Amino acid sequence: MTGCSSLLGKIVKDPQIKLERVDVRETNLRGANLAFILEVENPNDYEIKVDQVDYKVFLGEDFFAEAKTPKPVTVPANKKQQVELPLPIEYSKVLSGLKGLLLGEKVSYRVEGKVKLAFLGLSIPFDEKGQLDLGIGE
C-alpha cells in the first residue's frame, strides 16, 4: 500500500485551500447573511470537482454554527476557484456569540472543515482564522 500511496502522491497534488475573506451579504434587525469565501487552488493538470465542503464556525473560542455547501464546484486545471460557504444567522439564536459584533467590535473567528473531492473520495482539511466586523455603527 505504501508504494501505491506514494505513487498517488506523485500523480495527484493536493489542492491548496485558504480563507480569502468573509463577506457580509445582508444585515437587518433580526440577523445577517455571511459568506465565507474559500479559495481553492488546483495545482493539477486536470480539473477537480469539489463535491462538498463541511465546515464549523467559531466566534472567539465558542462554537457558533456548522453547515455544508449547497452544490458541487469544479476547479479548472492549474487554476483557482472561489467556493462560497453561506452562513445565515439569527441574532436571537446566537446572541452571546454576537455580543461584540452588535456593539460594533471586531470579533475573532475560526472556520474549520474539510473539502470533499470527487476524485478517489479524497478529503482535505482546512482551519482558517481572522477578524469579523459587521460594520454596525459606521
Element (H, E) at 57: strand 48-59
What is the average per-residue pLDDT within 109-126?
84
List pLDDT tens digits, range 31-57: 888 888 889 899 999 898 889 889 898
CA-wise closest residue to 54 among 67, 41, 45: 67
Flag whether pLDDT at 126 surpasses 90: no
Please tell me the pTM assigned to this model. Answer: 0.69
Give the span between the Cα atoms of 47 and 59, in whole angstroms: 34
The residue ranges of every structural domain in the chain are 14-131
What pLDDT was estimated at residue 6?
A: 45
**Distances in Å between the alpha carbon of 131 and those of 14, 21, 29, 66, 87?**
27, 10, 22, 18, 16
Helix (H), strand (E) at residue 39: strand 31-41
Tens digit of each residue's pLDDT (9 = 90 or more) over 6-17: 445 556 787 888
What does the pLDDT read at residue 5? 45
* The listed CATH number (3.90.480.20, 3.10.129.10, 2.60.40.10, 3.90.25.10) that belongs to domain 14-131: 2.60.40.10
Confidence at residue 100, expressed as pLDDT on a 0 to 100 scale = 65
